[in-house]
Structure 1
Amino acid sequence: MLDAERDASIKAPSISQNGVRSSKEVEYRSGIWELVKKWFDEGIETHGISPTTEEERNDTRTYQIFTIWFSSSFNLASLSGGTLGPLLFQLDLKFSLVIILLVDAICALAPAYLCMLGPKLGVRTMILSRFSFGYYGAKIPAILNIFTMLGWLILGGIIAAQFLVGVFPSITVASAIVIIALVAFTISFCGYRLLHQFATYAWIPNALLFITLPAAGARNLTTTPPASLNVTPSQIISFAAAIATFNLTWTTNALDYTVHHRPNCSGHRIFSYTFLGIFLASFAWNALGAVLGVFAQVVPAWGESLGPDGDNFGALIATVLSPAGGFGKFLMVVCFLSLASTGAILLYSFGLSFMCVSTKFAKVPRYIYSFVGTAIVIPLQIVLSSTLFATLQDILSLIGYWTATFTAIVLCEHFIFRKNQCFNYHAENWDNPSILPLGVAATLAFLLSFAIIIPCMGQTLYTGPVARAGAGDVGIPVGFAAAWSLYTLFRSIECLFTPNRLG
C-alpha cells in the first residue's frame, strides 16, 4: 500500500464522492507524501544513535565545530556563573577572575579531547561510554545525562526569561519561558544540520551585547570595589566547583556534534576549535559576570535591580544598558532568542541520551524527544523561576559530581586500556552486549566514587564533614581522582577474567 502511494504513476481506483477516486487524487496524495518525505530527509535529521558510516562522515566544515561550542557558551547564561563569585561566595574581582581563568581553561580540555574521537569512531558520547561501562552499565550515565540536560534547560530557560522580562516588564516570566522553549525546540527538532547552521551566526548579537554592556556601564565602573578580606579556601574551592560544571558538562555530549565530520580531519584542529570555542566563550561571559557582580555591590541602582534575592540578572542587564536606550533593549531581545542555541543543543543530547537507555526508546525517532523534553521542562522552569540562585547552586554542583567521575572513567579507558588509539575500539560492536566490556569495573568505580564524594560535598541541602571542616566543596576533584584510581584497579582485574570483551 505504501509503495503504491509513493508511485505517482499508479492509478488506483478508490472511493470518492462519485464512488471512484480519480488517478489525479492519487497523484496528488503521492506528491504530498514525497514532499513530506523529502522535507524530513533533507531538513530534519532522522539518524539515531547507531554509529555513522564513513560515507556519512563527509562534513568538511571543521570551523563549525568552533562555532557550535562558541555559541553554546557565548551568551547570557554563562554570565550568571561569573556573578556567583562576588554575590554568593563574597570574592573580590581579582580572586573571581583568576579562578574563572584557570578553571575554564582546565575544564575545557576534556570535552575538547573527546571531540576528536567523533570523526574517527562515528559514535555518540553515550554510546562511547558502552566501551567502558558495558552495554547495561552505560544506562546509568545515560539516565543521569537526561536529568543533567533537563537541569541545564531549566536554568537556561529561567535566565533567558529574565532578560525578556527585563525589556518588557509587562510580559510574565511564564510567557517568556514558553517563547524561548519553543524556539529551542524548533532548532533541536530539525537536528544536526540546523544546529550547526544556527550556531554559526547565533553568537554575533551576543558579541554586540558583550561590547555594549561595559561601554554603557562605563561611568559606573570608576569606583574602586572593595577587596575581599579573610578569603578562605572554602570560598575559593566552592566557587571553582560551580564554574567547573559549566564546561565539564559538555564532556557528556562532546562526540555528538562531530560524528558527521570526515575521519581524516586534523585531530589537532578539532581539539583547538573545541577548546577555544568553549574556553573563550565561557571565560568572556563568566568574567563579565564577575565584573557586574562586584560593581552591583557598590552601584546602588545595579544592586537594587537584582531584587531582594539578588538573582534577577535580566533586570541587572536592563539597568546597565539603560544609557543605550532603544538599542540596548533591541540587543536584549535578539540575545534572548540566541539563548535558544544552548537550549537546542541540550534538547538534542537529551533525546540521544533517552535513546541509549533502552532499545524500545531507540526505536522512537530522535526528534520526538524534542517534544518530550520541551513538555517536561516548561512547567519545571515556571515553578523554579522564583528561586534561581538556590536552584543554580544546587543543580550545578550535583551535575559536576557525576560528570567528573564519568569523565575520569571514559578518559582512563581511552588512555590506559585503549592506549590512546582509536583502532582499539570496534564501533560495529556498539550494541553487542556479549562483546562489549562487562561493565562491572566502571559501575563499581562510579558508585564507590560517590561514597568518597559525599563527605566532601558542600551544598545547601547537605554539607559533608570534609567540607564542613573548612575544605569547601571539593567533591568534583576528589570524585575525578577517586574514579580514575578505582577504575584503573577494577578494570585491570576485569580484563584478566574477560580478556576478549573489549568491544
Structure 2
Amino acid sequence: MSDITRTSISSAPVKHDRKAEKDTKALDNEKAISVSSRPSSWDLEHGTTEVLPTKLNPLQRFAYRLEEVSGMEARGIERVVEADRKLAMTWDDYVQMFSIWFSANLTLNNLIPGLLGPLLFGLSMKEAMVIGPFGSFFGAACSGYTSTFGPMSGNRTLVTARYTMGWWPSRLCVLLNIVIMVGYGLVDILAAGQILSAVNGAGLSIITGTVVSAVISLAIVLFGIGVFHKYERYAWMPQLAVLFVLAGVAGPSFDATTVTEATGPAAAADRMSYFWLCASSAIAWSPATADFYVYFPATTKRWMTWLCTTVGLTLSISIMVLFGAGLGSGVLSKQSWSDAYNVSMGALIVESYAPLGAFGHFCAVVLALGLISNNVPSTYSAALSFQLLGRWCEQIPRIFWTVVATVIYTVCACVGKDVLFVVFQNFLALMGYWTLIWVTLTLVEELLFRRRGGGYDWTVWHDKKRLPIGLAALVAFLVGWVGAVLGMWQTYFTGPLAKLVGEGIDLGMPVGTSWAVLVFIPLRWLELKYVGR
C-alpha cells in the first residue's frame, strides 16, 4: 500500500448534526475531523486518528501530538468510524491479513506444543505430526471467527465482548486476556534469550538476551498498527528460510520409528489431550484477532476475513508443531539433543544447527529474533486490554500501557527463567479453557439472539445502559469454568472427570464449553424477555 499524507489533527472540526447525534447516542462524544482531503488510496497502515475525543487530558494530548509528529498510533480502544477506514478492500489487503498471522506464529514458541507430543504425552512422531495440525486448525477457526468482528464493527476484539458478556462481566475476559498476552510476551523473550545465550556459549546471559528481545519488541509496538502491519508482512521470510535449513540439517535425526508409549484407552486419552493442547495455541489469539482489522472497511467480505486468518494461523502453527514433534523424537533417541534439551529449548535449537558451525549459529539467532514477530501483536493487544479495565485506565493512552506490559513480562521472564515450560503449560490451560467458552457464547449470541433481534448496534460500544447486563453470560461462563476444572488434566491438578479415561484425559475445553452453552441459552432468553437487553 502506498504512503499518503494524512489529515492533520489540528484541522478545523466539523460540527455534528445534533439530530443524528441524538439518534445514534454517541456517548463517546467524538468530534469528527475533516477528511475531505483524504485521497482515495487511503492507507490502512497509517493507523492514525481522524476522530478525536472532545476532552483530552495531558497524556492524551501528548499521544496525539506524538502521532502528528512521528506517526505513532494514538488510538486505543475507541471505535474506528467509517471516515477513518480504507475506502475499499483489495486482494493485497487480504494477503496482508494472511501475512499477519503467518508471520506472528511461524515462531519458536509454537515449537513447544510439538515437543510435548513425544516428550510429555508419549506419542510417536507420526501421531504427533498428524494430530497437531488438526488441533491447530480447530483453534485457528475459532480465532478466525472473532477476527471478522474487526471490519464489521470497527471495535477492538474485547470491546465486542461487551455485546455478549456485558459491561462489567466482560472485564473478566479482559483480565484473562492480559494474563495470556503477558504470558506470551514472557515466553517469547525468554526463548529468544535462551537461544542468544546458547549461541554465545553462555558468554551472554539469558537475562541479557531476554532484555534485548524485549527492547526491540517495544520499539515496534510503540508505533502501533502502521509499523506492525509493515513488519509482519515480511517477517516470515527469514523465518521460513532458516526453517528449511533446519529441516535439512536436523531432519535426518528425526526418529520416525518411535511408537506411542500407552495403549488402549490410555493412548486414546493422550491423543485427545494433545489435540486440545495444540488447539489452545491457536485459539489463544481469539481475544486479539479483530484488534488488527479495525481499519478495514465494513464492506470487507466476512468469509474472506475468516479464511485468511484461519489459514495464516493453521499453516504457521502446524509447520512449527511438525518441527517440534520431529525434534522431540530426536531428543528421545539422540544423547546430545537430550543433554541440550535438559539445559533449555534454546540450547536444543542451537544443538540441532551444530553441524553447520557458525552458519548454524546465525540461523539460530534469526529464529530467536523471529520471536519478536509473535511478541509484537500480543503486547499490542495487552495494552488495549489494560485500557478496558476501567474509565481511568482508558484515559491513559495505549503507548503508556505498552511500556507497562513490556516491563511486566520482562521482569517476570527474568525472574522465572528456570521454569519456562511449567509456566507455559499453565498458560496453555488458561488459554484454551476460557477462550473456547467465550468464543462459543459469542457464536450462540449472534446466531440465536442477535439475528432475530436486529443484529448489533456498534455505536453503543461505550454505553453500559444499552449493552447487555451480562448476567446470563457471566453465570454460563462460571459454570463452564466449573466444568473445565472437573475435566482438566494438568500437571498440577486432575479433575474427577479427567480420571475416568486411561491415566487421565484433558476434557476441560469440551466439557466446560458444553456446560456453558446449556446454561447460557435459557438464561439469555430470560434476560432478554425480562430485562430487554
1:44 aligned partner, one-letter code: M
2:342 aligned partner, one-letter code: G
C-alpha spacing 1:222/1:51, structure 2 compared with 1 (3 Å): closer
SS in 2 for 1:135: coil
Farther off after superposition, 465-474 or 369-378: 465-474
2:73 aligned partner, one-letter code: E
Contact 2:488 2:507 in 1 (8 A): yes
Structure 2 regions of 5+ residues with no counterpart? 1-9, 11-60
Farther off after superposition, 113-122 or 197-206: 113-122
Q: Which one of the candidate residues 169, 176, 182 is aligned to 1:137?
A: 169
Q: Which one of the candidate residues 460, 474, 486 is aligned to 1:443?
A: 474
2:120 aligned partner, one-letter code: L
1:261 aligned partner, one-letter code: F
Q: Which one of the candidate residues 457, 465, 473 is aligned to 2:496?
A: 465
1:424 partnered with 2:455? yes
Q: Distance in 2 between matches of 1:221 and 1:232?
A: 22
Matches for 1:229-308 after TM superposition, within 5 Å:
229-230=262-263, 231-307=266-342
1:220 aligned partner, one-letter code: S
C-alpha spacing 1:493/1:469, structure 2 compared with 1 (3 Å): same
Q: Distance in 1 between matches of 2:210 and 2:154?
A: 35
Q: Percent sequence identity over matched residues?
A: 28
The TM-score with structure 2 as length reference comes to 0.83
Higher share of residues assigned helix: 1
Q: What is the CA deviation profile of residues 282-311 of structure 1, one whole-angstrom value per residue up to 9, with x for unaligned ones? A: 000011100110122112221221126xxx
Q: CA deviation at 1:37?
A: 3.2
1:173 aligned partner, one-letter code: I
Q: CA deviation at 1:368?
A: 0.5
Contact 2:280 2:429 in 1 (8 A): yes
Q: Which one of the candidate residues 77, 85, 94 is aligned to 1:57?
A: 85
Which residue matches 2:412?
A: 380
Contact 1:234 1:467 in 2 (8 A): no
Q: Distance in 1 between matches of 2:380 and 2:530?
A: 38
Which residue matches 1:185?
A: 218
C-alpha spacing 1:93/1:355, structure 2 compared with 1 (3 Å): same
Which residue matches 2:56?
A: none
C-alpha spacing 1:420/1:355, structure 2 compared with 1 (3 Å): farther
Q: Which one of the candidate residues 160, 183, 196 is aligned to 1:164?
A: 196
Which residue matches 1:46?
A: 74
Q: What is the CA deviation profile of residues 341-377 of structure 1, one whole-angstrom value per residue up to 9, with x for unaligned ones? A: 1111111110111111101100100010111011111
2:85 aligned partner, one-letter code: R
C-alpha spacing 1:35/1:482, structure 2 compared with 1 (3 Å): closer
Which residue matches 1:352?
A: 384
Farther off after superposition, 472-481 or 152-161: 152-161
Q: Distance in 2 between matches of 1:295 and 1:268?
A: 40
SS in 2 for 1:259: coil
Q: Which one of the candidate residues 521, 524, 530 is aligned to 1:491?
A: 524
The TM-score with structure 1 as length reference comes to 0.88
1:199 partnered with 2:227? no
C-alpha spacing 1:76/1:486, structure 2 compared with 1 (3 Å): same
Structure 1 regions of 5+ residues with no counterpart? 1-5, 7-32
Which residue matches 1:153?
A: 185
SS in 2 for 1:118: helix
Contact 2:183 2:427 in 1 (8 A): yes
Q: CA deviation at 1:145?
A: 1.0
Contact 2:183 2:424 in 1 (8 A): no
Q: CA deviation at 1:131?
A: 0.5
Higher Cα Rg: structure 1 or 2?
1
Which residue matches 2:21?
A: none
2:466 aligned partner, one-letter code: I
Which residue matches 1:225?
A: 258
Which residue matches 1:16?
A: none
Contact 1:164 1:176 in 2 (8 A): yes
1:313 partnered with 2:353? no
Q: Distance in 1 between matches of 2:67 and 2:460?
A: 32
Q: Distance in 2 between matches of 1:442 and 1:38?
A: 40
Contact 2:340 2:348 in 1 (8 A): yes
SS in 1 for 2:167: helix
Q: How well do the aligned residues superpose, as a CA RMSD in angstroms? A: 2.2
Q: CA deviation at 1:95?
A: 1.8
Which residue matches 2:487?
A: 456
Q: CA deviation at 1:334?
A: 2.3
C-alpha spacing 1:389/1:454, structure 2 compared with 1 (3 Å): same
Which residue matches 1:366?
A: 398
Which residue matches 1:79?
A: 111
Q: Distance in 2 between matches of 1:395 and 1:34?
A: 35
Contact 2:246 2:352 in 1 (8 A): yes
Q: Distance in 1 between matches of 2:125 and 2:361?
A: 27
Q: Distance in 2 between matches of 1:438 and 1:98?
A: 43
SS in 2 for 1:123: coil
Contact 1:57 1:119 in 2 (8 A): no
Q: Distance in 2 between matches of 1:491 and 1:207?
A: 46
Which residue matches 2:123?
A: 91
Which residue matches 1:214?
A: 247
What is the number of equivalent residue pairs in this alignment? 466
Q: CA deviation at 1:179?
A: 0.8
Contact 1:241 1:397 in 2 (8 A): no
Q: CA deviation at 1:379?
A: 1.6
Q: Which runs of 4+ in 1 moved over 4 A?
A: 33-36, 38-42
C-alpha spacing 1:318/1:415, structure 2 compared with 1 (3 Å): same
Q: Distance in 1 between matches of 2:62 and 2:249?
A: 53
Contact 1:47 1:366 in 2 (8 A): yes
1:494 aligned partner, one-letter code: E
Q: What is the CA deviation profile of residues 427-482 of structure 1, one whole-angstrom value per residue up to 9, with x for unaligned ones? A: 11111111111111111111111122221121222211111233511101111212
Q: Distance in 2 between matches of 1:224 and 1:91?
A: 11
Contact 1:126 1:142 in 2 (8 A): yes
